[in-house]
Amino acid sequence: MSTYRSFILALLAAMLPLSAFAAECDKAVLTETYAKMHRDDQALRGRYIEILEKENRNEPVDPKEKDQLEVTISNTDESNQHTLDHLIAQCGWPGSLDKNRAALSAFLIIQHGELDYQLKHLDMVKAANKRGEIPSRTLAMLIDRILVRQNKPQLYGTEFEYGSNKVAPIADPKNLNQRRKKMGLPPFRAP
């Protein structure tokens, strides 16, 4: 095989990943991918919260259903996190794609991740907030969840125990509503 022919084949082989990258980062493809991740993220959480509420009221629940939901939600979260990390690495943060719905999907995946995953993406979410892609009230939810998981008092009063609605400890409760107002949250009312 000639050197020229070898060069052309090598060049074409090198360009294949670029075409896959271009297709993967196409706005329509990204919009659908983020929408699917959002649907998958939310699909079973409502039912799971219903079960937790029943448990809190000392009503009978099906332990097998609860266990299966926990496994399915965990598997979905892991899959979404893997996909999100891949998309961010290949295409960047979703920005204002799909009228910021893609950024909200990314936020939910981060919010539902483990603490180390949340911390890994916190600066990215803060930057998205500064650019207007994520509302301040949404950022407040992530900050509170991180603080609670670090066994620290939350700042904005957005974290509570699902099922019982018991509010996690709040730092400086006297100034809570001032902080909430700054983040676009309504005044705090205990459940």
* Within a domain: 162: no
Handedness of CA 90, 111, 43, 100 (dihedral sign): negative
Calculate helix-pair angle for 3-24, 63-91, nearest 10 degrees: 130
pTM of the model: 0.84
Q: What is the pLDDT of residues 136-150, one digit of tens each?
A: 999 999 999 999 999
Residue range(s) defining the domain that contains residue 63: 32-134
Note whether residue 37 is domain-resident: yes
Determine, yes or no, domain membership for 79: yes
State how many domains the chain has. Answer: 1
Closest CA to 156 of 171, 135, 134, 174: 171
The answer to whether residue 106 sits within a structural domain is yes
Rounded to an integer, what distance in angstroms lies between the CA atom of residue 188 and that of residue 190?
Answer: 6
Q: What percent of the chain has pLDDT over 70?
A: 88
In this structure, is residue 153 part of a structural domain? no
Asked if residue 62 is part of any domain, the answer here is: yes
User: Mean pLDDT, the chain, as a whole number?
Assistant: 90
